[in-house]
Structure formats: structure tokens, C-alpha cells
Structure 1
């Protein structure tokens, strides 16, 4: 048998319309042809951008830091409020409240004021601030201070109540300690009286006297133990008072050392590149429109 030979087909090369090819040389010719348009566009954008960069106010960050207060119980400190909860209060309640009051008192002001609240990672500190020019700084300082004051006042009430409980417990312990010391003095006087009486004239009922003396000594021992416990409690509560501190501003509203955003040189450079790209785009578009018009005219 003759071997079966598979029929082979020769496919014609793919044809591409020459008009759709991107020819870099043609693009270069278009750019050279439209160089005046490109230069004018670039200059206009650069001039407008330079004017904006020079005239626009320099923007700084004005901010303050709020340290969340803490309470102490048995030497163990705990924040008076969860840091995320405090941040939510600031964002959703206090910022809105202060801005609403400001807009109500100043109805002609633009409603574009923005106060930012952030929490640095792994900290109990809240950052309250805003970006603004030096001319706007007094207003933003005032608003930031009002917002932070609301949080401080809220936490102050909680810490005040906590301190009141500690003071009450310390006072009760000191009153009890004073009462025990009076009882201790009375018992000591009774024991001293029995000793003197026994030395002057021995008491016939020595067994009863011994029982009384034993009871008084036992009471002295109990009082001594309770006094030691009360003194320890007083020391602990006073230590808790020292470790308890209020929510406070770490520093007044301050201006950042460096301005934020692009500086003037970088901004002008950005406008130069933007103008150049826009000029090239307009030149290519213009040339394309002209070619389309010529083609339509020829067909007609």
C-alpha cells in the first residue's frame, strides 16, 4: 500500500492595512509640523500652573495630641476609655457638634472645614488636626481646642467619680483606724491598771484576772492585725490615686515644621510636563481631524 500523505495547506500572510500601522517617523513629523501648537500649549499650561503655584497659600498641618487618662485599682492601670471608642466619639459627636455650632453662628461661611482624628499605632494617644494656611490657623486652633476640650470634659467626669470612690474608701479606712487606735489605748490602760493593782495588792481571784488579761491581749493582737491591714489598704488606695491621671493635651495646637503637599518647584515642574503631554495630545488630535476632513472631501 502507498503511504497516506497528509495534505498541506499554505496560508497567505496576514494582511494589515498600512493606514492602521503606528509609524514613529510619521508621529515625529506630525510633532515637528505642530511644534508651535505644542510650545504654545505647554507655555500656557506652565504659566497658569506657575501663577497658581506662586499665589496659592502654603499649607501646614496644625494638630495637637490628647493622652487618654487612666484609672488604677490595686496598682493595675487601665484607660478611662477605649482608644478606638474615644476616636469614634471625636469623629461622630464632638467634631460634628463643634462644626455645627460654628456654621450656625457663621451662616455665610463655606461648609468645607475638615478636622481629622487619628490614632497612632499601639498608643493611647489621639491626634486631632487639620491642614490649612497660616491665615486660617487661628480659626482651626479654636475649633481643635473646642473639640479636644469636649473629650477632656467627658473623661474628667468619669475620673472625678473614680477619685471620689477612692477618697471615700481612704476616709473610711482612716476613721476605722482612728477608732481602733482609741480602743487600743483603752485596752492598754486597762492592762496597765490590772498590773498596778496586782502589784499593790495581789488579787484573790487570780484565775479570773488571768482570763481577763488573756482576753485583753487577744483583743490587742486582733487590733494590731486589723490596723496593719487598714494601713496597707490606705497605702494602696493612695498609690491608686497617684497613678490615676486625667485625659489631657500633651501640647497646644502646633504648626508642622514643613508644609504639606508639593513645593513650588515641584508643582511648576508637574505643570511643565502636563503642558507638554497636553500639547502633544492636541497636536496628534488636530492632525487626525485634518486628515479625516481631507479624506471626506476627497470622497465627496
Structure 2
């Protein structure tokens, strides 16, 4: 038996309950992993609230790092004793140990500790597919401007650093001056406090009226309309989250009127749908982290038993960088 967080119904943080659950042996294509640290992500809130519905009772959490205890038939890339980390379906990482599909579990390099591994997989792989694979039709070259919302969060701080390494001029938005300063310290070329400035007008000012080639947006409803006004002709609106709520329906003709724009809604789990794709993306992430080009900022740590408070703080925008749940 291990301690794990479950929900019995969708709702608020109070639905997150710490319970004892059995953990068996891995079946074909599975591993059993003993967690050392667990990552917290906004998708966990979507699962808890029912924006992304789950069958009940449900585990929560998509990201963790630990040690492989056992492997099932057909698993060849991992063996007992390996240090490992993952971002993976199905939810259930808020646990001391679990049995899960091996496909998206990657061996963790010795140069990266467990807490960093737990804090970087979902967020780092997201930054990877955005900056390297979710590209405007005209591509991205050094010196190009991109707009990144929620840039002081876990994904955002990784993206700021990675964009700088790629030579991009990343324009960050955040909800306070302190968060803007954090984004700038991590490689953003410009930062806009959207609570005090019209970010669309400021983006046009920064770019000399040309606009940006791409907007990376995990906020959703609140930033959608002004973000479209930030794009240059043939620009790409890349939505990958709904922190403020889902984007409402819009008329495709609006995209034409604003400059023949492109829109995409991305999810990490499309990108990591195969073992080969997952490993290739993880290898790039491990390389930029191990090299020091990207540092993973763990700004909050909560014991697993305090998971309700962790969710409250995340939803209240009280967190910056990455957050982990500890198992001490």
C-alpha cells in the first residue's frame, strides 16, 4: 500500500484526498516507479475541476521523477534501479509509487537531480514543442519577436531561457512587476505587466508596428482577442492552455481580416504519442538543462499532504516558476 491523492468527484481543492491504495506488479509495457518528487501543473487543476473530465475515482498528476522498481514484459529501455522521469497519461503522479505505461518514462541523466526532473518534464517538453515544432508558416529565425503569456510560470521561465538560446526576441507578459522582472532575468527581451498596460498596444510599439510572428498562449479567454491584434500577417496564434477559461467561439473570417492568420490548439500528448518522439524531445530538453542554458526554477515545495494548499496557491496566481510536491 502507498499513499496517493485521489478525487471522488470534480470540484475544488477540498476534493483532493490522501488515501492508501494498493500498488501491484507491472504488466506488459508497464513499469512500477517509486517517486522521489512530483510536479504540479495547471492541467492538474483542469482534471480536478472537470474541464478535462476523468472517470471516478481518479488519480491526479501528470509528472514525477523517481526510481524504477520493476518492469513489465516488453519494456527494454528501462530496468530496475534506473533513475527516471516522465510527463505522461493517465493521471496519477500524486502518489508515493505507481504502476504506469512505460512509453513516456525516460531515463534521467545523472547530471539532473530528482526534484529538477519532476519539475521539468511536462513544462520543459511543452516549451520544446512550442519553440521547436509549433512554428509560424514563415518559420522563426534569430532576431524574430514572439509573444509568450504567463512567462513567469513554469513553462514560461523555461521558454524565456530557451528562446534566448535560440536567438529569439521573446516578449513576456505577466501579472505583476515582480513577475516581469523574473521573466527578464531569465532571458525575455521585453516584459509587459498586463494589469497595468495594454499589452497589444505595447507589442506593436516594441515591434515598430510589425507585430510578432507567433503568440504562445496558455491563458485562454482573457488574452485571446488582444493577442490576435499582436500578430503580423500570416502570424500564428498557438493556444496551449485555458488558465482563464476556454476561448469562446470565433468567426474564421476574423482571421482573414486581421492578416490571414493561423490558429492552432496544441497539446503535449499529441507530441509524445510514440516512444521515439518522447525520447527525442526529452533528449533535447536534457541537453539544454545539463548544459546550463536552461535552469529549472523550483520556487515552491509542498509536502504531498498539503496538496490542497498547493492547488489553491496555483489557482490564485501566487506561484512562480515550477512547483513540486515532496515525499519526505
Q: TM-score range by the shorter chain?
A: under 0.3
Structure-2-length-normalised TM-score: 0.18
Larger radius of gyration: 1
Bigger share in helix? 1
TM-score (norm 1): 0.20
Report the structure, 1 or 2, having the larger strand content: 2
